[in-house]
A and B are shown apart, each in its own frame.
Chain A
Amino acid sequence: MVDLASTPKPAPDAAIETAAETAPAPLPGTSAVRKPPTTLERMFRHRGLTIGAVLVGTVIFVALFAPLIAPHDPYAQDLTRRLIPPVWYEKGSWSHIFGTDNLGRDYFSRTLYGAQIALLIGFSVMILSGFIGSALGLVAGYFGGKVDMVVTFFITTRLAMPVVLVALAVVAMIGSSLFVVIAVLGLLKWDRFAVVMRSATMQVRSQEYVSAAQAAGASTWRIVTGEILPNVMPHLIVVATVEAGSAILLEAALSFLGLGVQPPLPSWGLMISEAKNFMFFSFWLIAIPGTALALLVLGVNLLGDGLRDVFAPGGRS
């Protein structure tokens, strides 16, 4: 996930200049001034961001340690113990906290392992599409002119294609697997990265420090990596979180339609799909993975919104 600690240095709120000039004289009446909050402090104060981070953090923790936490093998079927309700029902038992599904598999274990699939897809799609989109956006924003026209044409073309329909078509043609889902979504969902990076790069490109670096004889590579990238990073991080959440939802949708991850993998979307025949008598089968999915996507979006708020007022960039 986004490494909060490595975001560029805490930039104090620059709205009020408290810096002492080189004058030796002490400034009167400045003792009562509280230090402006650092980016990290602002993050902790932001409630949405904190909730989002806790939600996502929990899911990451669960995904990483699923083999240690899960009480049962998520694939082990036991047809004698089908559709046992969760522990909070009268007939539930502590041996299957979330009950079992129609094949008698432990639903708690499957939900835990489902977090792995969700995050794997979210991350992989984010990285693949993020790489394609940011590269296109950076190139378009930096070079402008004809290059920009070509990239903009690509973006518009891409935006004209409905993601779900194209994904359905591709999967229908070449068959579906985890890898195919990641590849299809990753190759389709780069548009927002490209749009945001293009405009962010254009904005940074027009700053005088980029001209200064050019006048210093710096190469294009040095300017892009040293001057532009660090300053568009906040935008990139925000888009990346939001896109990861949307990729997770899309995977669930594809899996629900039977065109995503294939059984018996414990994908949350697939679990919902498998549960739909039993939803009237065993409501938990659909409610549990549904809740998990909703909480994760909510967490990711809160995190993205929060990061946007925290980065926005920082520095006069």
Chain B
Amino acid sequence: MSGPVLEVEDLTVTIATPTGPLQAVRGISFDIRRGESVCLVGESGCGKSMTSLAIMGLLPPAAKRGAKRLAFAGEDLAKASARRINELRGDRMAMIFQEPMTALNPAYTIGDQLIEVHRRHKQQGERIARERAVYLLEKVGIASAAERLGQYPHQLSGGLRQRVMIAMSLMCEPDLLIADEPTTALDVTIQAQILRLLADLQKEFGVALLLITHDLGVVARVADRVNVMYAGEIVESAKVADLFAKPSHPYTRGLLDCIPIPGKTAPGEELGTIPGTVPSLIGGIEGCAFMGRCPLAQGVCARGAPLRHANETHAYRCIVEAA
């Protein structure tokens, strides 16, 4: 396959609320190629999770999706029937959620759930499905996988459940894997193990990974490319090394200044902050959404920020050219 696995162009998500339409995602564009991992990073309410749900066609009923182009392996998802989306979901597009306990059905054994996914999409019989389930559970580092198939989700720890979720997402050899805060609910030691596993499997199976997170540490260690989201927009997009070497949007710089880094920030020293809060996304925003909190804001920011390019793969939206 030569083209991108996922192409997103001018994606919008609007949610109806009692106080008016909330523009959760305001025209974002990116694509992901085979074997590549792309991160969407941002703080709560920036629209990163809505983006993933919009791609999967899993938006809540109150939310509406719009896009100039939303294509999976060249196939237009916006025009695809609900039935076709159902076929793709779980088969060629898979998703891993933050809380595996709520994503797994407590009434069925993990074996039932793993096999069911495979049977629904592949029709190759139960034996092949079971073999693949055992193979993948071993792949995700679960010992005595065959016995584990008979266990129920509540019998597993959080880390093991997330491993099962990853195995389940890989049952049908997907081309695209979306992981929405996959390690946020886990302990730090388990987080490292799960991320390692995810990165290894991604390289091994060559899937395109869309990783959604708020944690810049996770971004730095896992992503190839990063899209920084703020108030429903991508404000900066770059290769991971470029982003951390030369953060160009004031918001990205602000975020990086906020986090204490052992060995880098002096203990007890005042940390950087971003004053103010995210503007309300109800009723739309004119101009640059960050201007109310930006140390570089000028009057012209109210008319919007131009897209600038630091290099071919590094773009950001700001009135000021980064030094």
Residue B276 at the A interface, CB < 8 A? yes
Q: How many angstroms from the CA of A134 to the CA of B285 in the assembled complex?
A: 48
The residues of B that contact A68 with a CB separation of less than 8 Å are none
Given A13-B19, A25-B297, A33-B19, CB of A19 within 8 Å of CB of B285: no
Would you call B286 and A29 a contact (CB within 8 A)? yes
With CB as the reference atom, state the residue of chain A lying closest to B45: A17
The yes or no answer to B22 lying at the interface (CB within 8 A) is yes
Q: How many A-B residue pairs have CB under 8 A?
A: 77
**Cα A129 to Cα B284 with chains together (Å):** 51
Q: Which residues of chain A (11-41) have a CB below 8 Å from chain B?
A: 13, 15-23, 25-30, 32-37
Residue of B nearest to A31 (CB): B283
Considering only CB atoms and an 8 Å cut-off, how many residues of chain B contact the other chain?
26
Say if the beta carbon of B20 comes within 8 Å of chain A.
yes
Q: Are B283 and A32 in contact (CB under 8 A)?
A: yes
- Do residues B19 and A23 form an inter-chain contact, with CB atoms below 8 A? no
Contact check, B292 vs A27: say whether CB atoms are below 8 A apart.
yes
Closest A residue to B288 by beta carbon equals: A28
Specify which chain A residues have a CB less than 8 angstroms from the CB of B45 in the assembled complex: 17
Which parts of A166-210 form the interface with B (CB within 8 Å)? Answer: none
A16 to B286, CA, bound (A): 19
Closest to A12 in B: B19
Q: How far is the CB of A121 from chain B (nearest CB, A)?
A: 38
A17 close to B277 (CB less than 8 A) = yes
Given A23-B292, A25-B297, answer yes or no on A16-B276 (Cβ-Cβ < 8 Å): no
Are A13 and B18 touching (Cβ within 8 A)? yes
> B145 an interface residue at 8 Å Cβ cutoff?
no
- B302 at the binding interface (Cβ < 8 Å): yes
Asked if B20 and A33 sit within 8 Å, CB to CB, the answer is yes
**Given known contacts A30-B279, A33-B282, A16 and B289 CB-to-CB distance under 8 angstroms:** no
Q: Given known contacts A29-B283, A29-B287, is B18 in contact with A21 (CB within 8 Å)?
A: no
CB contacts (< 8 Å) of A20 on chain B: these are: 276-277
Q: Which residues of B contact A16 (CB under 8 A)?
A: 17, 19, 22, 280-282
A34 contacts B280, C-beta separation under 8 Å: no
The answer to whether B280 touches A33 (Cβ under 8 A) is yes
Alpha-carbon gap, A15 to B24, bound state (A): 13
Let me know if A35 and B292 touch, CB within 8 A. no
| Docked-complex contact B279 and A29, CB < 8 angstroms | yes
Q: Given contacts A25-B292, A25-B293, A37-B18, is CB(A32)–CB(B277) below 8 Å?
A: no
The answer to whether B289 touches A28, judged by C-beta atoms less than 8 angstroms apart, is yes
B60 within 8 A of A: no
Quick one: given A19-B277, A23-B292, A33-B280, are A28 and B285 in contact (CB under 8 Å)? yes
Q: Say whether B61 faces chain A, with CB atoms less than 8 Å apart.
A: no
Q: What residues on A are CB-neighbors of B282 within 8 Å?
A: 16, 18, 32-34
User: Which residue of the partner chain B has the closest CB to A41?
Assistant: B18
Question: In residues 262-313 of chain B, which contact A (Cβ within 8 Å)?
Answer: 275-289, 291-293, 297, 302
CB-CB under 8 A from A19, the residues of chain B are 277
In the bound complex, CA of A252 to CA of B284 (Å)? 57
Mask, B38-65, CB within 8 Å of A = 1, is: 0000000100000000000000000000
Which interface class (under 10, 10 to 19, 20 to 34, 35 or more) fits A? 20 to 34
Chain A residues with CB under 8 Å of B285's CB are 28-29
The 8 A CB mask of A89-125 against B (1 = contact, 0 = none) is: 0000000000000000000000000000000000000
The residues of A that contact B279 with a CB separation of less than 8 Å are 27-30
Whether A34 lies near B287 (C-beta < 8 A) is no
Task: Give A167 Cβ to nearest chain B Cβ, in Å.
Answer: 41
Taken together as a complex, chains A and B put the C-alpha atoms of A23 and B18 apart, in Å, by: 27
CA distance A22 to B284 in the complex (A): 22
Which A residues are CB-close (under 8 A) to B292?
23, 25-28
The answer on a CB contact under 8 Å between A27 and B18 is no
Structural contact, A35 and B19, CB atoms closer than 8 A: yes
Cα–Cα, bound, A13→B19 (Å): 9
Q: Which residues of B contact A32 (CB under 8 A)?
A: 20, 282-284
Kindly list chain B residues whose C-beta atoms are within 8 Å of the C-beta of A13.
17-19
Given contacts A15-B17, A16-B17, contact A23 B286 (CB under 8 A): no
For A28, the chain B residues whose CB sits under 8 A away are 279, 285-289, 291-292, 302
CB-defined contacts of B302 to chain A, threshold 8 Å: 28
Output the nearest chain B residue to A18 by Cβ-Cβ distance. Answer: B280
In the complex, which of the residues A21, A29, A35, A37 contacts B275, with contact meaning CB atoms closer than 8 Å?
A21
The distance in angstroms between the C-alpha atoms of A27 and B275, with both chains bound, is 12
A313 → chain B closest CB, angstroms: 9
When the two chains form their complex, are residues A23 and B287 in contact, meaning their CB atoms are under 8 A apart?
no
Instruction: Identify the closest chain B residue to A20 (Cβ).
Output: B277
CB-based nearest B residue for A32: B283
Q: How far is the CA of A18 from the CA of B45 in the complex (A)?
A: 12
Interface string of B1-21 (1 = CB under 8 A from A): 000000000000000011110
The contact sample of 19 A-B pairs, CB cut-off 8 A, is A15-B17, A16-B19, A16-B22, A16-B280, A17-B45, A17-B280, A23-B276, A23-B277, A25-B275, A25-B297, A27-B292, A28-B292, A29-B279, A29-B283, A29-B284, A29-B285, A29-B289, A33-B282, A34-B282
| Residues of chain A having any CB pair with chain B under 8 Å | 13, 15-23, 25-30, 32-37
Closest 6 CB pairs of A and B: A23-B276, A32-B283, A29-B285, A23-B275, A21-B277, A27-B292
